[in-house]
Structure 1
Amino acid sequence: MGKKISNSRDEQQLIDKQNERKNLKLKYNGKENLRFMAEYDYLTELPNRRNFENVLDELIILGEAEIHENTIVLMFIDLDRFKFFNDSLGHNAGDKVLKIVADRINNVVGSENLVARYSGDEFVVLFKGVTDRENINKVAERIQQKLTEPIRLLNNEYSVSASIGISIFPEHTNHIDELVLRADQAMYSAKKKGKNRVEFFNVEIANEIDRKAKIEQNLKKAIDNNELYLEYQPIVNVYNKKIVGFEALLRWKSEKLGSISPGEFIPIAEESDLIFKIGEWVFLEVCEHLSTWSKKGVPSFYISLNMSIKQFEQHNLVPKLEQHIKDFGVNVDLIKIEITESTAMKNSEEILSKLNELNNLGIEIFLDDFGTGFSSLSYFEKLPVSLIKIDKSFIKDITQHKKRAAITRAIVAMTKSLKIKVLAEGVEEIEQYQYLCSIGCHIMQGYYFCKPVPFNYVEAFFHSTK
């Protein structure tokens, strides 16, 4: 629990201390310079995080905000894509941006409110006695508008955007030291919704954070509790009417939370680094299943499995996978790795190197969800991709939308020219199947053929189709 506000009304002590800080800012010699360095950010000359947190402590001690009489508003401002300036233009350019941003925020907010550089590209603003939510929102929007004004760097003009989270005392918390946390959470919600937004803390954000925490907590125990399992969806060559492979799909049925969608728990696994342990578990499970099917004489087919971009951060990723394949005695040709367009877009030397190592090992690389990102032909020039999977969003309305049909036809024609295989995923209706056949797409996957099935159904499925 946070600290509750004191009932003291001694505001003068707080004002005196704030004035002392303002005076201190003007002095740059001897011991006073050391004090300035301790309490102010040298780059922007704004109060630093320590200074800001001292002000919050003083509000707690002095009772500056009483629950029934005063309101305190905190804005948490985070610059969007600030890393671009440091990485592309250099740290000097990044520093210049931060100084300009600090000045612009200060000019909008005014001297009667506290602006501080919290860390890196994060700023906080503390307002006292503001009660009108609409006015608060207008101030936040003015900050955003001011920040988008052009900044000239290295003879070019750039603009900055910011995501802003807002928390209000006592509306959102009765503990003033929780204001920062609530505003920070609202800011992340703004980023999640597309960035360059203003978001007030609300119950929905609190519930989302609570659920996310519960999922992470239970996901840590999921492997040990045998709650994770794989299902397999057939991949069909419609020309010869044969199953050529299966996609391994991760599932989780939590004892406490019930069935959780991969779309919900995978991003949390990536954020918390649990993806490393889970990703290895999936690979081991696939190897074990392939080995079991082989020993039982099930006809040979490949398994494709998804790999998170986070997994490519492991320096020993390829040797570890190679060792697992050897341990199970699995034919390496039967394992395919699926990467998303977002992974391909990273195009880093580290990722490219690992993909080439996997390809040299004999593991083919599939490009998943093609068409959902900024698709580029450069993928096929640089990456060792042997098959692309047309995203189901194109297939869904392919018979109703001429543009989607034309794009799909163009993708199929392009892959043939590049001698790359193409697969349509999410095929659910006979009309979709017929159209894809007519344009020469002969590898498909979707509910039209079969829903994902458990491991032990795969063998039975083959026997039933003999």
Structure 2
Amino acid sequence: MNDVLMTFFDLGQYSQAPLPGNYNYWLVALSYLVAFIASFTALKIFERAHRHRSVSQQRTWTLITAIVAGIGVWSMHFIGMIAFQLPVVVSHSIGLTLASIAPAIIGNYFAYSLHLSADKLASFKRVRNQVSSKTNILSGTILGAGIGLMHYLGMEAMQLNAELLYSPYWFATSIVIAVALGILAMSTYSRSNTIRGAKSELRKIQFVTALIIAAAISGMHYVAMLAARFYANETTISLTTGAQHQHLWLIYAIVIAVALIALISWVSSVIDRRFQHNYRAIRQSDKRIRELAFNDALTGLPNRRSLLDYLSQQQQEIPEDEHLVLFLLDIDKFKVLNNTLGPTLGDLLLQSVTHRLERVNLNVHMVARPSSNEFAVVARVRKSNNPVQAQSHALSMAKTLQQELQAPYSLKDYRHQCSMSLGATVISDLTKSSEDILVQAALALAEAKRNGMGEIRLYHPEMADAIEKRVKLESDLRHAIETRTGLELYVQPQLNENRTVIGAEALIRWHHSERGMVSPAEFIPLAEETGLIIGLGDLINEQACQIIRQWQQLGLNDWVLSINVSAPQFQQLDFVDKLNSLLKHYEVPAGQLKLELTESVLMQNLDEVIHKINELKQLGIQFALDDFGTGYSSLSYLMKLPFDVLKIDVSFVRDMFQSKQKEAIVQTIVQLAHNLGLKVVAEGVETEKHFDYLSSLGCDYFQGYLFSKPVAEPEFRQQNQ
């Protein structure tokens, strides 16, 4: 054992003094500078490994860090060996010299990899300090061992005619210095884990760490050189002073190589930082796109797509003792608020409703905005053996929601109070798709709105049957309009105070091939909701012109035919042109066609409406304001629009003797119309008492069941010719 140790350590086996050596201190300083630059560059590159989330990217940047750091250790050793001058010829084995870089790279790779792993574990606060201290000791030891192994392997690459032995004391000291300074460097660098976002602090820590690592490399090297003893033997040839040829160009070459590696590494780090910046920008854009795809831009609430995804997820996760409930809420007359006060206040109202829903004191799990003025609320109720009880709980929650949302809103300087219609469905069948659930709630909401404003309805299966019938009816109505079959204008006579027929109002009727006569109260709203009212209106206009043409051929030139025009129809850009074409085609004379408009037509764009009315009046068309008295702004319309006739709504005429207020309204309308130079038509005249009273007020024309119900046009002519 002692013989083996004597081949490596100086245990006094040589009686002569070791060969003297001296240093070129400029090269010593250069060796430390190279070690520092390489270490600092390696730490800068290692920062990239922290920034990446991909494991493969982390390993790649850690390997680049280890290569740069390892080359720095190797270069420092090589320059340090050149700086040490012996009075003998010295050369180096190429193979061992190149192989000696491996321990430095491997040691650095494992040391930095441990640090990267510890950074992930540091999120667990309970073990943070323990993990950090153990990691610093282990990684510092590995780093010091790699530096030491590189040095002593590099020393073995020396080729000279002398014996190389090591002082045991200085050998141990060199290893201790390498490991101790390695642990100190890793401990210093571990502080960067806590301030990763603060760039100035991070640079300071990297700088100090690089100084310590350079000290570890240089300190270990030069202490190890103190441990080295070179003893002359019989073949040793001494050199005269100054005769040693040390190939200084190799020093400059390796300095340039290290500088190039550092520059390339730095550039690659900058490029990667740019890529990371672009990647973050792309991630932020992707996040924004996802927000727009899954969230409503105005309120920030989940949109319809998110709601459907959430419902699907909840059906899988809901506890067995609970029911899922979906509420759909609709702001009544929201479009009126937008049209009258502007979209800004409409947006404020939507945001205010959102804030209330998010604060409501119920078992609410999600609030969403699936469409313009609709909100969805997902909640849970306790499951019961009695299904009625779950529905009762849902109804109670719906009333609470409604009460919360119907309290007045402060919209800038405007105090607004609105009603909320609400539909709800209790989800008992977990096999239903989220689309089906939303459809159920929508059916309940539609039923609530059909029954008036501020109503609440719970879904029941009969609603699905009703919607199926509605879809079938829509299809049949579309077919009837396209084929011009089954739709016929009936007429109800209008008479003067002498009971002489002066014209009629045309009313559309539908003879269904299977259902028989379909009520206008059923198919007219359907046409308005589905957009079929445009085609239906065109059909009415054409049939009205045909009827007037027949009257002309029979010499009935004094009768005026009134037809109702819907708001969507009147708003068509080509409405005037299409009607003008019909008038010319059927040769309708001026004054025999009258258009009846409701206030819904007038509430859109008043200037455009006035322009269209004036254009049509030039074609000889008369105008009547229908359902007068039911709106809140009729007087302002009368001042601006060139109407010929006012029609008193049937709701006032029919019940005017049961209400003093309605009787007074009828009297006021007649007086107002005459003062404005307009004729008055009273609808809903059903008794002689109605006729006599209206006649006494000076009403001009009368229409109602007292004279005739709406009949087919041939029957009307037969009765009144």
Q: What TM-score, normalized to structure 1?
A: 0.83
Counterpart secondary structure, 1:427:
coil
1:180 is displaced (CA, Å) by 0.8
Give the distance between the partners of 1:110 and 1:353, measured in 2 at CA. 53
> Which residue in 2 is equivalent to 1:396?
654
Q: Name the counterpart of 1:209.
A: 467
Pairing 1:349–2:601 present: no
| Partner secondary structure for residue 118 of structure 1 | strand
- What is the deviation of 1:65? 5.5
Alignment of 1:269 with 2:527, yes or no, is: yes
Matched, 1:386 2:644: yes
Shift of 1:182: 0.8
Tell me what 2:573 maps to: 315
Q: Which of structures 1 and 2 has the larger relative contact order (alpha carbons within 8 angstroms, sep 6+)?
A: 1
* One of 68, 90, 98 as aligned partner of 2:350: 98
Residue 232 (str. 1) matches residue 484 (str. 2): no
The code of the aligned residue for 1:277 comes to: G
In structure 1, the residue matched to 2:233 is: none
The alpha-carbon distance between structure 1 residues 381 and 133, as it changes in their structure 2 partners (threshold 3 A), is: same
1:384 alignment partner, SS class: coil
Indicate the residue corresponding to 2:405 in structure 1.
Answer: 147
| CA distance, structure 1, for counterparts of residue 426 and residue 694 of structure 2 | 55
Cα contact 1:325–1:332 (8 A) shared by 2: no
* Cα displacement string for residues 130-164 of structure 1 (whole angstroms, at most 9, x for unaligned residues): 33333323332332333334443334443454322
Determine the structure 2 residue equivalent to 1:363.
Answer: 621
Structure 1 pair 173–455 and aligned structure 2 pair: CA distance change class (3 A): farther
Q: Give the equivalent residue in structure 2 for 1:119.
A: 371
**Residues 363 and 379, structure 2, Cα contact 8 Å, conserved in 1:** no
Is the 2:683–2:702 contact (alpha carbons within 8 Å) kept by the matching residues of 1?
yes
**Contact 2:408 2:417 survives alignment (8 Å):** yes
Question: Which residue of 2 is the match for residue 57 of structure 1?
Answer: 312
Q: Name the CA shift for 1:420/1:54 in 2 (closer, same or farther; >3 Å).
A: same
Q: Deviations over 1:203-257 (max 9, x none)?
A: 4533442332222111111141620111122211223x42111111111110022
| Deviation for aligned residue 1:337 | 0.6
Alpha-carbon shift at residue 258 of structure 1 (Å): 1.6
- Hey, what's the Cα distance between the residues in 2 that align with 1:400 and 1:59? 55
- Who is 1:197 aligned against? 455
Is the deviation greater in 218-227 or in 95-104?
95-104
Give yes or no for contact 1:169–1:176 (8 Å, CA) kept in 2. Answer: no
Larger radius of gyration: 2
Checking the alignment, whether the CA contact within 8 Å between 1:85 and 1:94 is kept in structure 2 is: yes
Query: Of 372, 380, 383, which aligns to 2:630?
Result: 372
Distance 1:317 1:65, change over 3 A: same
Deviation digits for residues 252-283 of structure 1 (CA, Å, limit 9, x no counterpart) = 11002221111211111112121111111111
Q: Is the 8 A contact 1:130 1:136 kept in 2?
A: no
Change (3 A) 1:355 1:105: same
Q: How far apart are 1:113 and its partner, in Å?
A: 1.3
Residue 98 of structure 1 deviates from its aligned partner by 3.4
CA distance in 1, matches of 2:346, 2:688: 55
* C-alpha distance in 2 between matches for 1:157 and 1:190: 26
The match for 1:21 is none
SS at match of 2:382: coil
Residue 360 of structure 2 corresponds to 108
Q: Which residue is equivalent to 2:216?
A: none
> Displacement of 1:326 after TM fit?
0.7
Structure-to-structure mapping, 1:323-342, within 5 angstroms: 323-342=581-600
- What one-letter code is carried by the residue in structure 2 that aligns with 1:98? L
Which deviates further from its counterpart, 410-419 or 94-103?
A: 94-103
Secondary structure at 1:222 match in 2: helix
- In terms of fraction of residues, the more strand-rich structure is 1
- Once the 2 structures are TM-superposed, how far is the Cα of residue 86 of structure 1 from its aligned partner? 5.3
Match of 1:181 in 2: 439
Instruction: Specify the alignment match of 1:290 in structure 2.
Output: 548
The CA distance in 2 between the partners of 1:90 and 1:370, in whole Å, is: 26
**8 Å CA contact retained: 1:164, 1:199:** yes
Task: Look up the match of 1:23.
Answer: none
Inter-partner Cα distance in structure 2 for 1:340 and 1:134? 41
Could you tell me how far apart the structure 2 residues matched to 1:281 and 1:216 are? 16
For the 8 Å contact 1:116–1:124, the answer to whether it is kept is yes
Counterpart of 2:303 in structure 1 is 48
- Partner of 1:432, secondary structure, is helix
* 1:285-314: CA deviation from partner (whole Å, max 9, x where unpaired): 111122122223345311111111111121
User: Is the alpha carbon distance of 1:101 and 1:428 closer, same or farther for their aligned partners in structure 2, counting shifts above 3 Å?
Assistant: closer
CA distance, structure 1, for counterparts of residue 347 and residue 353 of structure 2: 10
**1:181 aligns to what SS in structure 2?**
helix
Question: Aligned pair in 2 of structure 1 residues 140, 423: CA closer, same or farther (>3 Å)?
Answer: same
Gaps of 5+ in 1: 1-28
Structure 2: gaps of 5 or more residues? 1-279, 384-389
